[in-house]
Amino acid sequence: MGTNDTATILYDKLIKMLTRAVAAESGLSLTRTNLVHALRLMQTSRRIDDREVLMKRQNRIYFQISGAGHEAIQIAAGMALRPGHDWFYPYYRDRALALSLGITPHMMMLQAVGSAEDTQSGGRQMPSHWSSPDLHIVSGSSCTGSQFVQAVGCAHAGRLLDPTSDEVTLVTSGEGATSEGEFWEALNGACLGKLPIIFLIQDNHYAISVPVEAQTPGGNLSKLLAGYADHLKMMEIDGTDFGTSFAAMTEAVSHCRGGLGPVLVHAHCIRPYSHSLSDDERYYKSESERAAEADRDPLILFPRSLLREGLITERELSELMQDVDREVQDAADYSLQAPPPARNTALQFLYSPKVDPTSTAFEREPEFTGEPRTMVDSITLTLYEELQANSRVVVFGEDVADCSRSALLPEVKGKGGVFKTTQGLQRQFGSDRVFNTPIAEAGIVGRAIGMATRGMKPVAEIQFFDYIWPAMMQLRDELPVLRWRSNNGFACPAVIRVPIGGYLTGGSIYHSQSGEVAFTHIPGLRVVFPSNALDAVGLLRTAIRCDDPVLFLEHKKLYREPYNRSPHPGADFMIPFGKAKIVRPGDKLTVITYGAVVEKALRAATEIGASIEVIDLRTLAPYDWETIATSVKKTSRVLIAHEDVLSWGYGAEISARVADELFGHLDAPVKRVGALDTWVGYSPELEDAILPQVDDLVRAIRSLLAY
């Protein structure tokens, strides 16, 4: 008896045994109809892969990546869960999962050719990037592992939106992505929250060409996770075996629906095709290894088992395969005639098409009450008002709660943030709406993305701008891209609050950074930077009430300054984005600035005594070009000043645009003032030398006036 025969006999026995076991435990059964349906999905998935491979070689599509070898576990997962009720964060190999949830061959082929009729992305994403709001398949990116922390946010949001719901969130990836930090941050968050989330790791033993033993210590993720056993149900299975896979996924779903916490299913699969058509596995896989994988191919074992058990006849199998081939051929033929996206749609859905935070709808006059408040107190009050006005607002981050051990709240004063911007909010609104997170910046932003996708309004805090960089993948490739890449299928209106800046006397390298220009360069992200208490209230409220992702930058030095205080302007006061404020009118020279440099520019203008106009931009993306242009045409001289380093700074873009569009109105070169191109030093003398000071602005202004 050969190896293949032995494998088939064992497979037959497992199908029978698991059919009985699954039916007994869950009420789900592997009936003949279900098994044949699973076979059809497997065959459809593989034939679409094969058709795309052919079309790529014919240069009729532009990329191809297959899910071959993963079909059994994926279809088992899809059959165990409920599309439109449960939520899904798939990855690019999940073709069979997507088919089992309701994505059709036509939808897949339309995405492969990049058609405007592609309902998943409108021709904006590569093939195999699944998306469907109706099915609750959240649009994924090509980034490996970034979906894990978003799935945690999705599961968390589900619990808050409906505590009685039995919905489950499924997040999938290959074993290579478990090397990413987001995987471990997500496991931590899921276990701490005892969230109803299934991590399905499809281990085909290769991350492109890197074998599993070079990715995972010991070459086995399950063994590596042994320490999580008290908090995470784990199952290690043969993911090429449909019966085993269905039993495991059914058990995992039942565990989550029962409120027992997260599950990790570690499914060993094969990858009989190369990573993608840009790869050739023969360069790093031996022939014997490839032959061994072929022996475990579910597209061979599963139909053979159904034939042996009499669940399908040779004729029925042949007809099924022919029917699948026709369906795939029809889908391919149709897609090749489908129109591409119109060129003028390139900017469509970068931002919300329904809510425009630059419009007059977000312009409300202040109704002042009370004594002048500091900027930090004004932010706290605004958060309080928005938490009170909208039950879907949640506030979280490192140290933002008063006390994670809520039983101690009667005994302690409460933390409420390292700058006290959230003090008292947990006491007022409870630990479900104001809570601490682990020190994991990608996890914080990823959680916010997942929650915002579900319709909540997360206001997350990164404790210091200096430590924002671990979240850069989420902030650059996920948060601002979700609406655009899903062709307006999903939105992500999260607010990320970040204390920023120096002038602290002792803040040094890692508590004084600026760097806002790294984020104004990101399409789809609103970037806000108030310089005073009044603007902080109006802009923060606009950020929370708008429908786009917002990076809200709060200068630490300005939190408690006496000169920028304001009485409270009322619970509906808002300021539109992209509307600068002329804080000092003049006609001889224009200073364009923002943040902590606004006050320094005003002092410099006063010292010089000339008619100098100072513009506080207030929002950096978008910025108010109309106000800038009007001022420059009037004054004919421009100074752009910011705290960030001078080279390649925010001022360079405005300078270039002034030179490009207003050159004929200039009587002097455009001048810039910024920090030295270095880090902020601990010594006060060093800090003063590095950051822009009033004297630096005075010299620049005098130089321009004398030109």
Helices marked H in 258-372 — which ranges?
287-295, 298-308, 314-337
Active site residue 511: yes
Instruction: Give the span between the Cα atoms of 421 and 463, in whole angstroms.
Output: 11
Q: Could you list the beta-strand ranges (E) of 32-117.
A: 87-89
Total length of the chain = 707
CA-to-CA dists, residue 186 to 171, 445, 564, angstroms: 10, 11, 40
CA-to-CA dists, residue 255 to 19, 180, 242, 470, angstroms: 19, 26, 20, 32
Going by their DSSP bridges, the two strands 87-89 and 581-584 should be labelled as: unpaired
Of 509, 511, 397, 402, nearest to 458 by C-alpha is 397
With a CB cutoff of 8 Å and minimum separation 6, the contacts of 205 are 175, 211, 212, 268, 271
CB 653 within 8 A of CB 682: no
Of 563, 489, 623, nearest to 134 by C-alpha is 489
Instruction: Give the span between the Cα atoms of 604 and 588, in whole angstroms.
Output: 14
Dihedral (Cα; 225, 229, 230, 235), 10-degree rounding: 130
Report DSSP letters for 225-248, one per residue: TGGGTTTSEEEEEETT-HHHHHHH
CB atoms within 10 A of CB 82: 15
Q: Which of 129, 511, 555, 642 is catalytic?
A: 511
Q: Catalytic residue numbers?
A: 511
